[in-house]
Structure 1
């Protein structure tokens, strides 16, 4: 990726759609593509937050209010979008966690409704608009493989998304399908925790992670950019966890 002031614009003339980009990982990813000259469309459910993100990003960025749970709205959006070279699905969800014995199955279903199904129907709706040899990159989560107590529901949601990647990479070729599986990343996803508790959680994860810190949105954005723009990579789920999932740790 070039810097914002670099004269090199390797993605000039390409259109990128980043869904779930009003903050955090999605916004950082949109910024990475915009810095390299792409025309970027960011989507989310709050127009004010999207507009603020677009202002922060700069470049050829436009903001479009879109609810990824609304299939008719998705179909209309992509029907009017023109050709999309790269699609990034950074649609986050927060429901479905908790100890399994007490897990509210309605909350687990809501977790699938908030993350799994929006990813699936957004990709289906986008297919007619996607460049034949373009890319789709999903954002999952390392909970799919981390085996942490209290995350069985989250593991099921993100594991289901990751299971889609290899067969879709073959079925939809030459369109490339990949995913990035982040570990703990300092984003607004954690804002429901009081600041002191959030810091304690981050410090605890940093202490057991070889990288010695939690992730930043820009870390995950670089991984997403890499998978989207490398034409020889498909069917991959790339972990971006700072080494937290290594068997031996430090």
Structure 2
């Protein structure tokens, strides 16, 4: 089984410099693409790959066009690989904002107001989603939105 985590990237509007516009693809999309490619010889037929996108693929905010596009590309990659690699299962987890050790109080407070559950997610909730997708032998080509209802607001 292969699980690919998120990455560091820089957000910016469509007018951003090339390095900012491409940072999400360089640091989030391509590493997951190549991780799946190079792990493939080691994955059993009944194995699983789980990619990580982000809720901005479905509900972007202003100023994050390349970030939203990158997450959408990861979700499309998951579907394409589910078809191409079957019977190996390929799925995507699309988390919302998740509380980490990094101090992001302002971002957490803003996100809480944008979700149905009125709170930020926890890393254990994302881990649970990944484990579910890695172990459910009848789920493939799916994006699981573990976002507290962010995409529904």
Report the TM range for the smaller structure's normalisation. over 0.9
Q: Which residue of 2 aligns with 1:138?
A: 51
How many Å apart are 1:201 and its aligned residue?
2.1
For structure 2, list consecutive stretches of 5 or more residues without a partner in the other structure.
none
CA contact (8 A) 2:55 2:150 kept: no
CA contact (8 A) 1:140 1:179 kept: yes
Bigger CA radius of gyration: 1
SS at match of 2:120: coil
SS at match of 1:98: coil
CA contact (8 A) 2:92 2:142 kept: yes
How many Å apart are 1:200 and its aligned residue?
2.5
How many Å apart are 1:209 and its aligned residue?
1.3
For structure 1, list consecutive stretches of 5 or more residues without a partner in the other structure.
1-85
Change (3 A) 1:106 1:186: same
1:98 aligns with 2:12: yes
How far apart, in 1, do the equivalents of 2:77 and 2:61 lie?
A: 22
Q: Which residue of 1 aligns with 2:98?
A: 185
SS at match of 1:146: coil
CA contact (8 A) 1:180 1:224 kept: yes
Change (3 A) 1:121 1:152: same
How far apart, in 1, do the equivalents of 2:35 and 2:44 lie?
A: 15
How far apart, in 1, do the equivalents of 2:113 and 2:32 lie?
A: 33
TM-score by length of 1: 0.58
How many Å apart are 1:228 and its aligned residue?
0.6
Q: Which residue of 1 aligns with 2:151?
A: 245
Change (3 A) 1:129 1:145: same
SS at match of 2:2: strand
Q: Which residue of 2 aligns with 1:123?
A: 36
Q: Which residue of 2 aligns with 1:175?
A: 88
CA contact (8 A) 1:184 1:214 kept: yes
How far apart, in 2, do the equivalents of 1:94 and 1:187 lie?
A: 16
How many Å apart are 1:208 and its aligned residue?
2.9
Count of paired positions: 153
SS at match of 1:148: coil
How far apart, in 2, do the equivalents of 1:185 and 1:119 lie?
A: 20
How far apart, in 1, do the equivalents of 2:84 and 2:151 lie?
A: 29
How far apart, in 2, do the equivalents of 1:207 and 1:161 lie?
A: 26
